[in-house]
Amino acid sequence: MSMSRLPDRSLLTRCEIFVYFGVYIAYIVVGLYKIYGLRDHIVGEAKFQFPAGWSFYPFNQRKRDDSNDELENFGDFIASFWPFYLLHAAVQGVIRWKWHRFQCLGFAGVCVLALGVNLDWTSMVLLAMLIGSYYVVSLGTSKILVWLLSAGWILCINLIQKNAWWTERVGYTEYVLVIVTMSWSVLRGCSYSLSKMGAKEEDLGRYNLIQYLGYAMYFPCLTYGPIISYQRFADRREDEQQNWSRFFGGVLRSAIWWLVMQCALHFLYIHYMSRDVRMVELMDSVFWQHSAGYFMGQFFFLYYVVTYGLGIAFALQDGIPAPRRPRCIGRIHFYSDMWKFFDEGLYEFLFQHIYAELCGRRSSPAAKFGATALTFAFVFVWHGCYTYVLIWSILNFLCLAAEKLFKTLTLSKEYQRWTKDHLGAVFAQRLYAMLATQLFIPAAFSNVYFIGGQEIGDFLMRGAYRSGVGNYMALCFCSYCFFQCSELLLTKSDDRLKAKTY
């Protein structure tokens, strides 16, 4: 179906566009101010004591929100492993200058050294067994065996998480590091094995043991991502001249956003609010409580800008065509775009190795529906079999299915003819946005389940749908403005991309 048949966003008047962006900006600014206004109350009412802030003014007078375990664990990881990032960059600088063929050995060598210095031998054995098992299974031709192996390792990861003896032996920090690394390694093992089984005979030379070890033990993306498919890794440009200015720019971008988050967490206790519904209830009204959900999403986005951005910077420097950095959630208004552009690497993995294996372009709607359901079943199991992850996965699935029906309807000849005859182009665009907003609202709130858990997700969802018609109409109007702004920003982004292309 041609995208040109979609409503033309360029028909909106400047005054109308000004209203949309004015509402968008005003809601964000006021919502942020109201969250800021709760800072002292949250510090006084929190269920646990926050640590002291930075020692210099004005942060020395504030407590710092350390409620986000992922962010704190990442900070601990960098504090322990930063020398190995430097070592990786130095080793690759030398290898790519003189000895291109040793690049994968350099990848694996730095990773083994980093893990060997910092991890207990039991952790090393677990990681070695996982990585080795995928190479062994790749020697065969059974994709079913690859998925059975993956199911076994996912089960193993869940059992390890409940093993008190091992957790006490290695400590909480190493426990988290190993669990996360094993989870990412399952995807890398699948990507290598399944890609090899689907490769042409003349391409099998790219699937040797050294290449696999370099891929499976690529240190900059080992623990904090993003997932890079084996096809991308195999397509790396070993002889390409390194772009040090781009590399330092990428690392600096991650460092700056990390500093921005750390500064903000002295004044905005949004991570704690995601864990304690009582603090969200303190906001003036249900209408402004929705802004807490928005900023939970934005801080979640910034975390991945930092972690993925660091891995992407190193990958590009090493000649690997890495996925793009996450797209800001403020520019995403269809949930299918959230999957495509927030975590591009994970989307590629799910689409290529699960969805596309189960159906094709010409498959029936039932087949596509089933493939989507199985894809989200894997997402649920891989993220951990928790109730809030199950709710998030089901809502994701339902929102994507509803979005598919909506786009099928709006692209149909009957709908196009009706809007042309009765509404005209401008009102057709507005109707399109109003209808799509009804998909945007539950899709946006579904993310809160994944970010903050079931309690805060249930609370904000009830606030959206069970707080009266007036509240819902106000929410719809703001969401409609958000949707229109995102559409306009997407148009400008597409225009810039076309200009670069041509």
Residues 308-312: contacts with CB under 8 Å, at least 24 apart: 308/224, 308/225, 308/226, 308/343, 309/250, 309/253, 309/254, 309/257, 310/85, 310/220, 310/224, 310/250, 310/251, 310/254, 311/220, 311/221, 311/224, 311/225, 311/226, 312/226, 312/250
Q: What is the dihedral of CA 13, 329, 253, 21, to 10 degrees?
A: 20
Contacts of 189 (CB under 8 A, 6+ apart): 130, 131, 133, 134, 146, 149, 150, 153, 216
320 with 293: CB under 8 angstroms? no
Tokens read off for 275: 């864990």
The residue among 376, 345, 333 whose CA lies nearest residue 358 is 376
The active-site residue, picked from 88, 100, 383, 422, is: 383
Please confirm, yes or no, whether 383 is among the known catalytic residues.
yes
Relative orientation angle of helices 365-383 and 143-161, to the nearest 10 degrees: 40
Measured distance CA(462)–CA(464) in Å, rounded: 5
Residue 390: what are its φ and ψ, rounded to 5°?
-65, -45
The residue among 103, 130, 59, 424 whose CA lies nearest residue 239 is 103
Residues in the chain: 502
Tokens read off for 5: 């048949």
Contacts of 491 (CB under 8 A, 6+ apart): 9, 10
Peptide bond into 58 cis (omega under 30): yes
Tokens read off for 356: 């596309």
Measured distance CA(67)–CA(45) in Å, rounded: 14
Return the active site residues: 383
